[in-house]
Amino acid sequence: MTRGHTAALALVLVAGAGLVSFGSCAPDSDRRTSAVARPANVAPPPSAPNHFGIGRPASAAEVAAWDLDVNSRGVGLPAGSGTYAAGATIFAARCVACHGARGEGTGTGASAIPRLIGRDPRQGFPFGSDLKYVRTVGNYWPYATTLYDYLRRTMPLNAPGSLRANEVYSLTAFLLAENEIIPRDLVIDAHTLPRVRMPARNRFVPDNRTGGPTFR
Amino acid sequence: MRRSHCALPRRRCPRARRLRNCKSHRLTPTKVLGTPTTALGARSPFVTPARTPTGILTGTSLTPLQDLSGTITPSDLHFERHHAGVAQIDPTRYRLLIHGLADRATVFTLDDLKRFPSVTRVHFVECAGNGRAGYRAPKRELTPQLIDGMTSNSEWTGVPLATLLREIGAQSTAKWVLAEGGDASVLSRSVPMGKALNDALIAYAQNGEPLRPANGYPVRLLLPGYEGNMCIKWLRRLELIAEPNMSRDETAKYTDPLPDGTARQFSFEMDVKSTITAPTYPARIADRGWLPITGLAWSGRGRIARVDVSTDGGRTWTEAELHGPALPKAHTRFQLMWQWDGRPATLMSRAVDETGALQPTRAEFRAKRGPGTDYHYNHIRAWTVDRDGRVYFGADL
């Protein structure tokens, strides 16, 4: 509420008029109407400007420092490259403690760490109907670029954001090759990664729930 | 341990602790002075609700729905779900960066955000996976907390995201907003521009005070009615983009595999849902006679229009009373007075929202969504009342 609103509210309350009409600067907020007329010496709430002039311009360096995301076209991928062999070494050193030696996952229930590697079943996409298949990078993830985006953000859990670009590319190459999606000799970089076609790419459909009486 | 008229063990009685020989413990409250005022209020020592922390950074801690009344969840009992622990953020160092397809990439401090006109709204936040235990691993000894404790309801105050998007000059090519957290998971989700302009909030207060750290202090995104995962906590960056980012939590997770061999993506809205909170396990109905059947109903698509309660396993239904006003995308309390005759009974609730959506039975839900579906479990919850008054979950299993 602006100072003007507060003043208007106080005036009416002092006058004992009870319910007061007070709008909000936000166009989407609830507005109340009142049967009590606004006295002539009380101004209506002002309309809000589109631009308050609050905040300061972000520098290009500030944006670059935080602009982490990589999209499915590969926009945001940095320079650098990675190989299966280097990825295998990093995986053994940084990942197996949680994800297991073969990326099979560890733990159960609340402490379960996801399985990363596996293509079963080779046919179909039965995850909605058959609980025996575990979703992995290989059989479920629709975009390879997501691996880079996610690994860079937050892996490994005990040292998030600590991997250098070449290390992230290498881990990505390792996981894609172990899932038999790319050959082991493919170098992964900003050019090759967006071109990797994931097996589950066409399985994803937009939400068709709309509310209303039909349960979907 | 010896007990007096005070139901507490003597070691937990606040008066007994202060006075030698615990004399006060045997006195009535009208004969002994009470305790002085305090800087922070505490619950009565007789009241000990608790979440369910697991000690795991990536885990959950659930709201004790069966211990609460009304609709507002006390802030310290709001459920927790973190992906890399609770971030501790110094508000003087906090910055929100908004950039991308906008005329002016801008940095806002916390004080900056508080200079904008704010709004205050009551909304639930619910994890998309809420209800998984009751569907995937049901057993009789489940409480409302263990089944549905990943929903909580608060009064939120903040700046409409639409106000900030006007402030920075969002361009018409911007169709999505990537929201990113400033915790160690740097969690990111793509939010459709329509939602961002409609009712999205950049929230800095919850139930009248600054957000709790576990709810994203100092600033979180609140998308009323959308899955909790999208309501990014410790919000540090918003990027206006032309197409969704396809981040991990909108592809590998928070998608719904269906029996037809597809997976539903961008399933943001939480379906209409209700759950009885009393009587439920582990409670026991002590005596025959009148008691309220009460619980919570909510929908990510608007207001709750009606809640029906059945005491015969869904054969017949009776409309419950709603504690008004039923606010949109908020918990709504329902109640039906019931005269228990000492015979076994099966209690159910089913909510209808203002779009006309009705909770499906467990069988209908399973037929449409399949046994492997992973989110949005909104089927009817059923409770058995045994002859001895004990109540158990899963009458419809």
**Is the Cβ of B301 closer than 8 Å to some Cβ of chain A?**
yes
Q: Give the pLDDT confidence score for residue A34 in this predicted structure.
A: 63
Cβ within 8 Å of B, A 104-163: 110-111, 124-131, 135, 137, 140-143, 145-146, 149-150, 153-154, 157, 160-161
pLDDT value at position B10? 60
A81-103 tens-digit pLDDT: 999 999 999 999 999 999 999 99
> Which whole number is the average pLDDT over A62-69?
96
pLDDT higher than threshold 70 for residue A12: no
Look at residues B336, B366, B339, B370 and name the one whose alpha carbon lies nearest to residue B350: B336
- For A114-121, the CB contacts below 8 A with 24+ separation are A116/A175, A116/A178, A116/A179, A117/A175, A117/A178, A117/A179, A118/A179, A119/A179, A119/A180, A119/A199
Q: Does pLDDT of B363 surpass 70?
A: yes
pLDDT over threshold 80, residue B349: yes
Helix, coil or strand: residue B43:
coil
Comparing C-alpha atoms, which of B20, B198, B267, B190 is closest to residue A204? B267
Split at pLDDT 50, 70, 90, the class of B11 is: low
Say what the alpha-carbon torsion angle B352, B326, B63, B187 is, to the nearest 10 degrees. Answer: 80
β-strands B263-265, A204-206: how paired?
A: parallel
Chain-centre distance for alpha carbon B368: 25
Best residue in B264, B271, B298, B301 for a mutation probing chain A (most A CBs within 10 Å): B264
- B396 within 8 A of B313, measured Cβ to Cβ: yes
Pull the structure tokens for residue A144: 């390879």
Determine phi and psi for A81, rounding to 5 degrees: -160, 170
Candidate from B163, B257, B353 with C-beta closest to A128: B257
pLDDT bucket at B36, cuts 50 / 70 / 90:
very high
B370 contacts on A by Cβ (under 8 Å): 128-129
CB contact under 8 A, B241 and A110: no
pLDDT tens digit sequence for B183-210: 999 999 999 999 999 999 999 999 999 9
Who has greater pLDDT, B11 or B362?
B362
CA distance B31 to B44: 19
pLDDT tops 60 at residue A143: yes
The model carries a pTM of 0.91
d(CA A77, CA A71) in angstroms, rounded, equals 8
Interface check B259 vs A, CB under 8 A: yes
Within 8 A by CB and 6+ apart from A211, the residues are B269, B272, B299, B301, B302, B353, B355, B356, B357
CA distance A85 to chain B (A): 25
User: Which tokens go with B358?
Assistant: 């009705």
Give B385: exposed, middle or buried? Use CB within 10 Å, 0-12, 13-18, 19+: buried
Strand, helix or coil for residue B124: strand
CA distance A128 to B371: 6
The burial class, CB within 10 Å (0-12 / 13-18 / 19+), for B31 is exposed
In sequence order, which residues have a C-beta less than 8 Å from that of residue B10 and are 6 or more positions away?
B1, B2, B3, B4, B16, B22, B25
- The answer to whether residue B71 scores a pLDDT higher than 50 is yes
Query: Tens of pLDDT along B81-92?
Result: 999 999 999 999
Cβ distance B110 to B204 under 8 Å?
yes
Q: Could you say which of B117, B168, B302 has the minimum Cβ distance to residue A26?
A: B117
Query: Within the 53-112 window of chain A, which residues sit less than 8 Å (CB to CB) from chain B?
Result: 54-58, 62-63, 66-72, 110-111
Interface check for A6 against chain B (CB to CB < 8 A): the answer is: no
Q: Which of A1, A26, A125 lies at the smallest CB-CB distance from B160?
A: A26
Alpha-carbon span B94 to B108, nearest angstrom: 9
CB contact, 8 Å: A15 with chain B?
no
Contacts of A74 in chain B (CB under 8 A): none
Q: What is the pLDDT of residue B395?
A: 81
A16 touches chain B (CB under 8 A): no
Q: Which tens digits make up the pLDDT trace of B52-61?
A: 998 887 789 9
3-state SS assignment for residue A110: helix
Per-residue pLDDT tens digits for B200-237 = 999 999 999 999 999 999 999 999 999 999 999 999 99
Percent of chain B with pLDDT over 70: 93
**CB-based contact A209 B267, cutoff 8 Å:** yes
pLDDT confidence of residue B56: 80
Beta bridge partners, B348, equal: B310, B382
Select the residue of A68, A131, A157 nearest B371 (Cβ to Cβ): A131
- The token duo for A142 is 């629709």
> DSSP state, B381?
P
Residues sharing a CB contact under 8 Å with residue B14, sequence separation 6 or more, in sequence order: B35, B45
